[in-house]
Structure 1
């Protein structure tokens, strides 16, 4: 049973007949009850579902990073994870149904106009992933020495992610990350982005490339 709020002309929450009332971020919605499917999904629907699954399977484990990386993208209309899905499904899912794959070089883990790290480099040796960036500050973008530097490593063979327990800062200019031994002996993909301490200014992520984890 639905509950009427703010009088007879107000919004309501819950089920009333064939409609459901709800609210998200202060916006009231009314939607019809879903209809029972009597026919199987069309090929177009299966393609959309497969593309969505391929991307969501990759992104869901890094939802905390996406909350920072996409936290300022259409924040009044969608969640950071949905914003990340929308952007990446359209550009990073490649191949033909049903054999979709991910183009890691096109995956974005953040989106924004804040300044990044200039010339950046990544390498791996003796179980350590090393990432370097330009630590000089920009008066135009008002970048700060204590800006957060988020680094993400993904090893597809094990389907596992690695990041730092605490983000490095822009002033560090470099960081060494110990790679778990069970992830060594394969290739990994690395991304980086920058954000101010409050997380209100975020850079577009940069794909640093594929590295041999040795």
Structure 2
């Protein structure tokens, strides 16, 4: 790696031939392009890659939920990265290549003052229709409102498929109805939910509602 003095048109950046120009610690530098490795990846690398891909597939399916669920702590780090880091470290079980989600460890939100979902339940209300219900807490804290919005995930592990509902129902409604694909018939589906304020700044912790056979 070497340094260079900016010319009449200022510093440049990017690839030129076999070198790359960039800025490092405030200094204009130029370095050789990295060589592609011809070494076969080891077992550990392959396992890490497969686990990475497994978690990323789930994260992309529920990203709309994660953006709201981790909004209050994301700052300069986006919600996808926050969720991925947690799920990769805590919510995967099994051995390569048979990775599975650890249902008990799934978290879609980072708690921020708001009360959690009270006594949630899930039932199969009709063919391809799942109904969630909850109650209002008469002793709710001041950060909790009947106008809070519900964020819901139905996840089918056997199909690796998700159904999400984002802010379509208010806390005061006390229930939400979600339709699932016909392909879910006979499968076990797991359900989670959390509430967020209308502006998304306050969030409850994630509640695992339970499982249901479709």
Please give the TM-score of this superposition, normalised by the length of structure 1.
Answer: 0.79
Deviations 1:88-117 (A, max 9, x none): 111111112232222223222222233211
CA distance in 1, matches of 2:84, 2:162: 18
After TM superposition, give the deviation of residue 57 of structure 1 in Å. 1.2
Shift of 1:38: 3.0
**Aligned CA distance change for structure 1 residues 45 and 19 (closer, same or farther; 3 Å):** farther
Asked if the contact 1:12/1:21 (under 8 Å) is kept, the reply is: no
TM-superposed deviation, 1:21: 5.1
2:210 aligned with 1:212: no
The answer on 1:103 being equivalent to 2:102 is: yes
Aligned to 1:90: 89
For 2:198, the equivalent position in structure 1 comes to 197
Q: Which range moves more in the overlay, 103-112 or 83-92?
A: 103-112
State the match for 2:179 in structure 1.
178
How far is 1:35 from its partner? Answer: 4.4
For the Cα contact (< 8 Å) 1:155–1:161, is it kept in 2? yes
Query: Partner residue of 2:141?
Result: 140
Match of 2:165 in 1: 164
| Greater Cα shift, 169-178 or 194-203 | 169-178
> Which is higher, the Rg of structure 1 or of structure 2?
2
The C-alpha deviation readout for 1:45-69, integer Å capped at 9, x for no partner, is 2222122111111121222221111
User: Could you say which residue in structure 1 is the equivalent of 2:3?
Assistant: none
**Cα deviation, residue 12, structure 1:** 7.0
Q: Write the distance in 1 (CA, Å) between the matches of 2:14 and 2:23.
A: 5
Q: For the structure 1 residues 109 and 34, does the alpha-carbon distance in structure 2 shift closer, same or farther, using more than 3 Å as the test?
A: farther
Which SS does the other structure have where 2:99 is aligned?
strand
Alignment of 1:1-16 (within 5 A): 14-15=14-15
Secondary structure at the aligned position of 1:57 is classed as: helix
Where structure 2 has 5 or more consecutive residues not aligned to the other structure, the ranges are: 1-5
For residues 83 and 13 of structure 1, do their structure 2 counterparts lie closer, same or farther at Cα, with a shift above 3 Å needed?
farther
Q: What is the root-mean-square deviation in Å for CA atoms of aligned residues?
A: 2.9
Distance, in Å, in 1 between the alignment partners of 2:71 and 2:21 is 31
Distance 1:73 1:40, change over 3 A: farther
Report the Cα distance in structure 1 between the residues aligned to 2:14 and 2:73, rounded to whole angstroms: 29
Question: In the aligned structure 1, how far is the partner of 2:74 from the partner of 2:42?
Answer: 31
Q: Distance in 1 between matches of 2:161 and 2:171?
A: 26
Count of matched residue positions in the alignment of Structure 1 and Structure 2: 198
Contact 1:135/1:172, CA 8 A, preserved across alignment: no
Q: In structure 1, list runs of 5 or more residues that go unmatched.
A: 23-29
Q: CA 1:94–1:20 in 2, change beyond 3 Å: closer, same or farther?
A: farther
Secondary structure at the counterpart of residue 157 of structure 1: coil
